[in-house]
Every structure is written in structure tokens, then in C-alpha cells.
Structure 1
Amino acid sequence: MQEDSAHSPSYTVPCEDYVHVVEFSPFSSGVPASLLAYGGNQYVVVGTCLFQEEDMEVEGVEFNVLRAFHHELRVDSLAWSPESRLDRVPTIRLCTAAADRKLRLLTSDLQERHEVKVMEGHTSYINHLVFEPTEGKQVASVSDDHTCRLWDLEGNETAVLRLRSPGISVCWHPEEMFKLMVAEKKGTIRFYDLVTQQAILSLDCGHCGPLMSADWCLTNTIKVGGVAGNDWLIWDITRSRWVEGVYVVLFRWSLANENLFATTGCPGKISSQLFIHHLGHPQPVMIGSSAVGSGLSWHRTLPLCAVGSDRKLCFWMTEM
């Protein structure tokens, strides 16, 4: 694609440091605004986002910081709990991963109560983590140590799934808490029954290269997307079929539309591109360009995605 065809972000929010990871909460916050967290070097910031598409009185985006938490190391991955809400008694709960091979479970009432539980067990770099989405009582994490580990909220390791290569992505079924998707670097995606701790289905990316990222479409769970080598791939589980795209690093499905997904590419360059795709169109429906970015997350109800960058958050809005 031509560089001059790229769009600048629809909205930006300034930050004090480089943003390594950014995540919208995929769950309702109990108020009109959406919860968003971003992490950098030794900090996690939690705030709310409200966009003009949600409230006509807002000019662009209204971002309010709720709290900044000290984090011992750089934040490499972050996941929201479904228990995080701002109505009634405010509760913020999220889990992070860092280079010391530990998970940290952060719980706060945004006032005086603030707890951090450190969860140890992985013996190598943690690549991804996720909360069980119906009750939020479990966390799953995958690592370069060839394991997927499950944890309770007390920090106890409750199960270990042995993998054949480094685990790079993990996703929980949105309604069936005993189904878990685990993607491995060698190119295999397995779906596990957590009652038996056995794989019940697997997908393979063939000879496309190492699998770098994978995501389960939670609005239509027959669709799985991933990044292998220089291509993006999409599987239809019912047909075990895949199609491929162009050079990318991360893959994330939209939460608002099962046919929309986003990929990021051109790592290590001065500008990084965001591609927003629709399954009904052969070409990207939007290309975004910004300073080198990290992380990729979709808004829960809007066709809008966020990417972290140097001292700012970047948001792109697209048409459904």
C-alpha cells in the first residue's frame, strides 16, 4: 500500500512515557464510558474513555485517569477481569505479565484498598494471559516454557497444560468456561476441554512459518485468526479452511462486528501501519500510520481500535 494512503489516528491521548501495551476492557463497566488500561516502564494507568460517537457532548475523546499503579518492571502483557466495574462499589481487577516470569494480580477500589498478588510458576517469558470471561475466577497464561498454566485468584496454580512449543496466545470461550484455545509458536492451535485437560480440536498453519499471534472471534467462535510468518490467516473451524494476507505482527478480532479485524505490521521501522480488514472486502478498509506502536485492542461496542505509541495512545475509528 502507498504510504500516503495511510490515515492518521482519529483521536490521540497524550501519555507521560512510551506505551508498551494497551487494552480496552471487553466487559461492561456499568457506566457509559469504557475502561482502558495501558502499561509502560514500571507503571500501569487505568482510565475511562468516552468518544463523541457515544456522547454528542464529547469533543473527540474524553480520557479520565482513574489511577496510576506502580509496576516493578515493564508491562509486557495485560488482561482485564469481568469483575472490573465502576457502578455500585468501584472495583478494578487486572493481571499483568513482566520479564521476571511472574504474573501480578492487581485489585483496587480506587480509594484506599490496593492489593497485588504475585503468581510464580513459569520458567520463561510469558507471552499472553486472559481471564475466564464469565466469572473471572481464573487466569490462563502461556509462556516460552512450553506450558499453559491456570491460576485462581489466590495466586495458586491449578492446572498445567504441556505444550510442544512456546505458547504465544490464549483465549477463553466467551460462554463455555471449560473451553480454552492455546496457540503454539510451531504453528498449531489447540482447543482444550479443561475438565479432561485434553485437546478436542486442532488447527495448523502449515508451512507458513512460526505462529506469532492468534485470536478467537468471540462474537462468532467458528472463526480463528492468526499471524504466521509474513501472512495473516483465518480459519473456519467447521471447514478447517484458511486464507492468507500480507506481512503483519499482531491479529485481533473486533468485538463489535464479527467481520472486522485488525493487524499491525512493519515492526522496527520509524512508522508502523495498522490495517483494518473486513471479510467482505479483498483489500483493507482502512490503513493507519503512526510512530512505532505497541499493543492492539478493540473497543467493546464501537468499530474503534487502540494502539500504544511514544507518549500517546492512538485510536482509529472505521465504518462498520
Structure 2
Amino acid sequence: MVNTSSAGNKGDTRWNKDAGGIRSQSLLYASLLAYGGNQFVVVATCLFQEEDMEVEGVEFNVLRAFHHDLCVDALAWSPESRLDRVPTVRLCTAAADRKLRLLTSDLQDRHEVKVMEGHTSYVNHLVFEPTEGKQIASVSDDHTCRVWDLDGRETAIFRLRSPGVSVCWHPEEVFKLMVAEKKGTIRFYDLVTQQAILSLDCGAIASADWCLSNPIKVGAVSGNDWLIWDITRSSYPQEKRPAHRDKAHLFRWSRANENLFATTGCPGKISSQLLIHHLGHPQPVTVGFATVGSCLSWHRTLPLCVVGCDRKLCFWATEM
């Protein structure tokens, strides 16, 4: 069922799982995994040997496939999603028609899709509020960050100075939101006052992420480099190192280790590079390649990430 191969680095294993036509987004959320492509979203479970010694490599089971009106461009899990209660899963997608779609399902015969309209250009990223999942934030090429409730109403709109590329919620203080803009500014907003409270500066940003296990850390990729800020010390990055010769595309912190993060090179080529970095090491601890890699997500508790490829999901595991 699973092909296992070495990716050439100590402590690094990659599993390739045929995903039957995956084109765009995949997202790990504990044992749940969702991926989307051209007019479909699939919810599955993934169990790894690190979680259960009786598993050989990875145990992958599709739970439900859903029709999606268009190709999935972005995908986010609600923190309410779990298999031991109803509704079982809730996730939100973005597509080229500039709409968000909120999918709620018991994975059997009851599911609902709520369409959210408001953005006037391409939606680049979206995220649920991480504690209760009662709100969704999205950023777009229309120079806005919008916050929505689960009924599809806009509860806040932040006007940006350039396209929004990433949005992140503070893991504990749910009134704080981080928004990264393409032209090189990362701003933190207070959702109560709806005012900016802090900003970070660098060159043009392709992607940024807030470290959930240590919220004083913010990371981003700009040009060929990755950058790390300590937001308690300076508005300028404390660390900056070259990463990808073909320009960097995505930055994601590990949920399992505050010093571990991954970056990808630009998609659309025959092969997209994945690098896993550790702040205690001068060089990447893992180097991998994925065919037309277009998304990146970490496992909730393991040092393991997934990239959506051409008809496959590629998983990399590394050491802490």
C-alpha cells in the first residue's frame, strides 16, 4: 500500500501515498488528514509507526470524499474536528471564484456547505481561530484580511497595503491576529480595537508563520532566504539564512518542536525542494524533493510534514 524510500538524510524517511488526482492542498490535523484537488475534497486518517508500533510505515484510510465546485486553492481545519463526536469534521476551503466554503460533516449522511462571499480577488490563505474554531480569517490579493463567523458574516475587515499572503491566530490570545503582506510587512492586529499593535519588516514576503509552541517567534521566507524574528526584541529579523536557489515559497513551523520548521521552493517546476531546518543546526537537517509540490503542513504532535504533489501525498519524518 505504501512505498517507502530514503530521501538521503540521516533520520529522514519519506512515504509516497497515491492520492488519486491530488492537485493542490493537503493538511494534517492529528490523525485526520484532508486534501483537495480539482473539484474534490477528501478526508482521511493517517496513523504512523511513531504513534502505533503495530503500523508498518503509515496506515492510510479514506473516510469520505466530497464534491467541491472548483479546484481547492487553500484549506484549513477547525479545532473542533475529531472522530469521537458529532459533527465529526469542519473545514474551510478557498477557490478561484474568490469564495470560501465551510464544510461541516458527520462523514456519513449529514453534511452542510456554507458559501462565504466578500473577497474580490484570489484568496491566498485562511485559518480557524485555534481554541474554539468559532471564527475564520482569510487574506487575499484584494489587499484585505477578513474575519468571518461560522454563519458566513464578516465580523472585521483589515485594509492592507499590498496582497495578504499569510494569516495566523495567536494560539492562546484569540483577539490577536498576524497578517503578512507581500511587500514585506507583517502586522499584528487587536481584534477588539481592530487596530494594528505591532509590525515587522523585511523584503517581499512569500509566506510567514507564527510559532504556536512559542509565540514570540515568527518565521517567513523572502526571496531565497528564511528569516526568524523574536517579536519581543526587534522589528527586524534576528536570523536570516539562504534556503532555496529557485526562491522560497512556503514557511511552516513544526507543532512538535519550537526550533523545527520547514520551507519549500517555488512550485510549478518538475521538482520542488523541501528543506527541514533546526535552529540549532547550521544546515538543513532534511532535504527532499516533491513533484510539483504545492502545499505544506506539519503533524500536530510528531516531527513529520506532508507536501501535496502530483497525484501523491509525500510525507517526511525527521528527528527532533
Amino acid at match of 2:290: S
Partners of 2:145 and 2:191 lie apart in 1 by 11
Partner residue of 2:240?
244
Partners of 2:240 and 2:281 lie apart in 1 by 13
Partners of 2:9 and 2:66 lie apart in 1 by 35
Offset from partner CA, 1:194-250 (integer Å, 9 cap, x none)? 000001110001xx3x21100000100010000112211111111224222222211
Amino acid at match of 1:110: L
Q: Which runs of 5+ in 2 are unaligned?
A: 1-6
Partner residue of 1:31?
none
Partner residue of 1:299?
299
Partner residue of 1:20?
24
Partner residue of 1:10?
14
Query: Identity percentage over the alignment?
Result: 78
Partner residue of 1:76?
73
The structural deviation recorded for 1:265 is 1.1
What RMSD, in angstroms, separates the aligned Cα atoms of the two structures?
A: 1.5
Decide which moves more: 108-117 or 232-241: 232-241
The structural deviation recorded for 1:19 is 3.1
Number of aligned residue pairs? 307
The structural deviation recorded for 1:53 is 1.0
Partners of 2:87 and 2:148 lie apart in 1 by 24
The structural deviation recorded for 1:115 is 0.4
- 1:113 pairs, out of 110, 113, 122, with 110
Partners of 1:37 and 1:196 lie apart in 2 by 34
Partner residue of 1:235?
229
The two structures have a TM-score, normalised by structure 1, of 0.93
Amino acid at match of 2:119: H
The equivalences for 1:32-181 within 5 A come to: 34-89=31-86, 91-181=88-178
SS of residue in 2 equivalent to 1:235: strand
The change in CA–CA distance for 1:90 and 1:139 in structure 2 (over 3 A counts) is: closer
Q: Which runs of 5+ in 1 are unaligned?
A: 29-33
The structural deviation recorded for 1:6 is 6.6
Decide which moves more: 262-271 or 46-55: 262-271
- 2:218 pairs, out of 219, 224, 238, with 224
Answer yes or no: is the 8 Å Cα contact 1:6–1:289 preserved in 2.
no
The equivalences for 1:200-211 within 5 A come to: 200-205=197-202, 208=203, 210-211=204-205
Partner residue of 2:3?
none
The structural deviation recorded for 1:112 is 1.1
Amino acid at match of 2:60: F
